[in-house]
């Protein structure tokens, strides 16, 4: 990696796909003939689940996408021919839209192929970016991009929302693994190579073996404070440019034709837009920042491609709503990704009205549509036939082909970072007897992570990923079944039966939002979930039994694991390696002669934490010559000092510097509070809610939490809430769940939302109790919980209890707090004392919600 130079200002970028006068002339000729309605149609990108071919014809829409977990006909295992038939139908619908016009505008299909063509059954799944960052191999990225593009085109698609070029700086962020490294030098070195692979340069882009790429998310999404999802980056512009924009410089130089805007905000005076005539700060959301989108990206940097919004992100911007994106359009967004059918139709209507009233200048619309037409022409879409007639549509066998699977295995192998190797335990003897244990031993979800066939990737199995191999499966392939015992949580340790224990630990699969760790929570692996704590207990038992232990960690981010490392003879981090478990065993096991088959090449793409609270990257100093760290960016001395620094990683022939136990973090005070002496009211008691609590709605398509009113009905996509009165005259909420993933919860607003330690209520034999009236029984499991991490953390299924109650009558429901603790709910840090969530339909009313401090029933 070449060191970066400090950039004192935003640079002008020279793209590998240059302006072409002939293309500009053709674009101008088409644009001049478009009606306003046709122009707006090119600016909308609905999702497959909320769109029909007839819609494309009627509204003359320019593009569509399939979101994570959306497949043709809802079929998870739809094959390539099903995808081609789907994309072909929409292509034909766009042709029909212009059948009576003297020109045509081809349709463009987009997808989120972020680690391979990951939304399509049978496609090759590559390691997530964090692992590729460890490989330190830019040329590998180009090959992965090219392979991914071939598989995308085989399904009739034209555009991928990749690569993600974020520079993640806080390990608590749920999207951390989408970045290659915490250091800008890796991000800049990789971004251009990935774009080259996907697009193939100016010439390759016109062929049907490459796709339009998208660098995202503009800008500084990896710098959000406390790792908050869709949070605020509070860094000065110099740091945003030199750390967080590094991937855009090389990605746009390589010719990336689209940029997706970030959900996040940027809290810096230069980012403020101003209300007309007031000069006052108006909007901090990047989607609403004319400065960042138009002034910086388009004008200073010279980007002439498409700026696209993220999923429904316009709805989070001031002066916008789910059905009105006018402010975002004026800020410079060219294409609007809008999911819901009612929403995208409303966005069209409001945009038309905005232009006609003068609120949106038609020149801004022309700029957006000119960019869309320009990219479509550069991609050769006027010359390419319908999807079913393209050469790649006849090459459906390319999905998951042997060549691409071998590339994925190579990438996984090069990504593994060896942190410890004492006593020459590695490489392992292929003829030895191996106990494969730990929660990740035979768990494909832990290997593939989020954005794998579904959004969170937590509901897939080996049947969904044909040819995939877990670590346990890979070990069996080396040792044979007779010498390999697989038991994730062994009740008995029998060292005489095994030569070595291979312990595979790791995070459960997650994606954005649900993978974020709350600011007040430990980043200690064993502290995060009960199953992770069982992994630590397994390591302790193996050590007590005197076994040789090799630990492999599957994770999307560095976590505090010092005790786990101390308990291991060897410790390696494999990140999220994808479907090729053999890429891990390639470096763990030797050949028949005992010599290594492959050495460890991976080096840490991010520093490894020394403590449970070291959540941020070690920021002193950033690796940028000439950059002066501003006071607000400086961490207290030693706060983020790493256990292993960025770039650390052992090879098999290197002496291990960690022969002595590493220092444990002993600073945590876990003294429980005394038993509670009174109840904690959450809803009821004569007023709307308990002390400081409000109620909110969240869910899959409700990115911004919706506050529930106790004065009038609250309506949103996933839930309808209506205030009412309970039997005792106290307040009640009637809740109608509409069949989408949804949760309703109580939380104190603002700074008061810091969690409470409520173990004292459990110590007092308390329970979580409430009154409930069932009007419509749940169609799917309905869970009770005391956190807001749906569904990453556990819940108690109330479906059977609710279904057994008489409809229309109030009844008391209570759950011992000890039961919630047994399920793994963390009563030490309760920010949400009451939550109900379901993915089905139900109608219930709740009242008198409280935590008791008495005898639990």
Catalytically active residues are 310, 512
Q: What is d(CA 758, CA 746) in angstroms, rounded to the nearest whole number?
A: 15
- C-alpha distances (whole Å) from 232 to each of 222, 228, 263 are 10, 8, 9
Contact call for residues 422 and 569 (beta carbons, < 8 A): yes
Joined together, the tokens standing for residue 769 give: 């109790």
Q: What is d(CA 617, CA 220) in angstroms, rounded to the nearest whole number?
A: 15
**Count of CB atoms within 10 A of residue 497's CB?**
10
Residues facing residue 432 across a β-bridge: none
Burial class (CB in 10 A: 0-12, 13-18, 19+), 459: middle
Contact call for residues 6 and 242 (beta carbons, < 8 A): yes
First to last CA, the chain: 63
3-state secondary structure labels for all residues of 136-199: CCHHHHHHHHHHHHHHHHCCCCCEECCCECCCCCECCCCCHHHCCCCCHHHHHHHHHHHHHHHH
Q: What is d(CA 505, CA 575) in angstroms, rounded to the nearest whole number?
A: 11
Q: Which helix (H) or strand (E) holds 842?
A: strand 841-851
- Angle, vertex CA 256, rays to CA 253 and CA 261, nearest 5: 110
Q: Which helix (H) or strand (E) holds 540?
A: helix 530-544
Strand boundaries in 562-717, DSSP class E: 570-573, 608-609, 642-644, 680-683, 694-699, 702-707, 714-715
Contact call for residues 10 and 301 (beta carbons, < 8 A): yes
Residues facing residue 734 across a β-bridge: 722, 845
Q: Shortest CA distance to 764 belongs to which of 680, 689, 682?
A: 680
Q: Say which residue the tokens 């409930």 belong to.
A: 772
Q: What is d(CA 836, CA 174) in angstroms, rounded to the nearest whole number?
A: 22
Joined together, the tokens standing for residue 282 give: 């108006």
Q: What is d(CA 330, CA 140) in angstroms, rounded to the nearest whole number?
A: 39
**Count of CB atoms within 10 A of residue 100's CB?**
6
Q: Shortest CA distance to 559 belongs to which of 569, 570, 573?
A: 573
Contact call for residues 307 and 367 (beta carbons, < 8 A): no
Quote the distance between the C-alpha of residue 800 and its chain's center. Answer: 33
Joined together, the tokens standing for residue 549 give: 């232990």
């Amino acid at each position: 990696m070449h060191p970066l130079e400090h950039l004192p200002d935003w640079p002008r970028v020279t793209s590998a796909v240059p302006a072409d006068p002939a293309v500009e002339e053709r674009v101008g000729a088409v644009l001049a003939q478009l009606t306003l309605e046709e122009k707006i149609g090119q600016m909308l990108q609905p999702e497959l689940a909320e769109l029909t071919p007839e819609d494309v014809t009627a509204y003359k829409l320019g593009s569509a996408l399939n979101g994570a977990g959306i497949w043709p006909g809802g079929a998870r295992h739809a094959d390539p021919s099903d995808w081609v038939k789907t994309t072909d139908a929409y292509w034909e619908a766009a042709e029909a839209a212009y059948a009576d016009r003297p020109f045509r505008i081809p349709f463009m299909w987009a997808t989120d192929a972020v680690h391979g063509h990951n939304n399509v059954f049978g496609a090759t799944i590559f390691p997530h970016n964090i692992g590729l960052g460890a490989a330190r191999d830019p040329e590998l990225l180009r090959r992965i991009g090219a392979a991914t593009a071939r598989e995308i085109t085989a399904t009739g698609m034209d555009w991928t929302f990749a690569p993600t070029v974020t520079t993640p700086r806080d390990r608590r962020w749920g999207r951390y693994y989408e970045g290659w490294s915490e250091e800008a030098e890796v991000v800049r070195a990789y971004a251009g190579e990935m774009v080259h692979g996907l697009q193939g340069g100016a010439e390759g882009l016109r062929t049907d073996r490459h796709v339009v790429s998208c660098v995202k998310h503009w800008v500084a999404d990896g710098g959000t404070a406390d790792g908050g999802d869709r949070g605020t980056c509070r860094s000065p512009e110099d740091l945003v440019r030199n750390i967080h924009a590094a991937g855009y410089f090389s990605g746009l130089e390589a010719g990336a034709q689209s940029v997706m805007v970030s959900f996040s905000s940027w809290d810096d005076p230069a980012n403020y837009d101003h209300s007309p005539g007031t000069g006052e700060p108006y909007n901090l959301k990047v989607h609403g920042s004319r400065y960042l989108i138009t002034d910086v990206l388009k004008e200073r940097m010279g980007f002439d491609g498409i700026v696209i919004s993220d999923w429904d992100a316009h709805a989070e911007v001031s002066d916008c709503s789910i059905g009105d994106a006018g402010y975002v359009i004026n800020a410079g967004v060219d294409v609007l990704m809008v999911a819901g059918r009612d929403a995208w139709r409303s966005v069209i209507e409001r945009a038309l009205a905005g232009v006609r009233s003068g609120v949106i200048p038609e020149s801004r619309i022309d700029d957006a549509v000119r960019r869309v037409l320009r990219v479509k022409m550069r991609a050769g879409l006027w010359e390419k036939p319908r999807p079913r007639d393209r050469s790649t549509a006849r090459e459906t066998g390319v999905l998951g082909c042997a060549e691409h699977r071998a590339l994925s295995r190579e990438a996984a192998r090069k990504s593994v970072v060896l942190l410890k190797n004492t006593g020459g335990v590695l490489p392992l003897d292929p003829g030895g007897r191996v106990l494969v244990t730990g929660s990740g031993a035979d768990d494909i979800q832990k290997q593939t992570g989020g954005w794998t066939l579904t959004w969170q990737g937590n509901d897939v199995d080996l049947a969904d990923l044909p040819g995939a191999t877990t670590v346990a499966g890979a070990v069996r392939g080396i040792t044979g079944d007779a010498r390999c015992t697989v038991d994730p949580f062994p009740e008995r340790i029998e060292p005489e039966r095994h030569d070595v224990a291979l312990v595979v630990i790791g995070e459960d699969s997650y994606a954005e939002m649900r993978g974020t760790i709350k600011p007040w929570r430990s980043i200690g692996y064993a502290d995060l979930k009960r199953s992770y704590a069982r992994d630590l207990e397994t390591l302790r038992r193996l050590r007590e039994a005197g076994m040789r232990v090799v630990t492999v960690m599957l994770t999307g981010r560095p976590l505090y694991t010092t005790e786990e490392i101390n308990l291991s003879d060897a410790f390696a981090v494999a990140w999220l390696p994808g479907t090729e478990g053999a890429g891990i065993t390639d470096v763990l096991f030797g050949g028949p002669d005992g010599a290594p088959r492959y050495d460890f090449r991976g080096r840490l793409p991010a520093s490894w934490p020394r403590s449970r609270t070291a959540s941020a990257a070690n920021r002193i100093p950033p690796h940028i010559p000439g950059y002066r760290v501003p006071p607000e960016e400086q961490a207290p001395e030693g706060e983020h000092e790493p256990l292993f620094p960025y770039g650390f990683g052992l090879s098999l022939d290197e002496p291990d510097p960690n022969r002595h136990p590493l220092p444990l973090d002993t600073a945590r005070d876990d003294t429980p509070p005394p038993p509670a002496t009174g109840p904690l009211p959450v809803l009821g008691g004569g007023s709307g809610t308990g002390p400081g609590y409000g109620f909110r709605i969240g869910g899959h398509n409700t990115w911004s939490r919706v506050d529930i009113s106790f004065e009038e009905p609250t309506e949103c996509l996933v839930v309808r809430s209506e205030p009412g009165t309970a039997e005792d005259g106290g307040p009640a909420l009637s809740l109608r769940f509409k069949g989408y993933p949804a949760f309703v919860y109580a939380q104190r607003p603002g700074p008061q939302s810091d969690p409470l330690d409520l173990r004292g209520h459990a110590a007092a034999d308390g329970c979580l109790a409430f009154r409930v009236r069932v009007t419509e029984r749940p169609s799917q499991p309905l869970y009770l919980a005391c956190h807001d991490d749906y569904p990453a953390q556990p819940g108690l299924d109330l479906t059977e209890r609710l279904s057994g109650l008489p409809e229309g009558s109030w009844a008391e429901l209570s759950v011992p707090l000890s039961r919630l603790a047994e399920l793994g709910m963390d009563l030490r840090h309760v920010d949400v004392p009451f939550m109900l969530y379901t993915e089905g339909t139900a109608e219930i009313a709740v009242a008198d919600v409280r935590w008791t401090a008495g005898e639990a029933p």
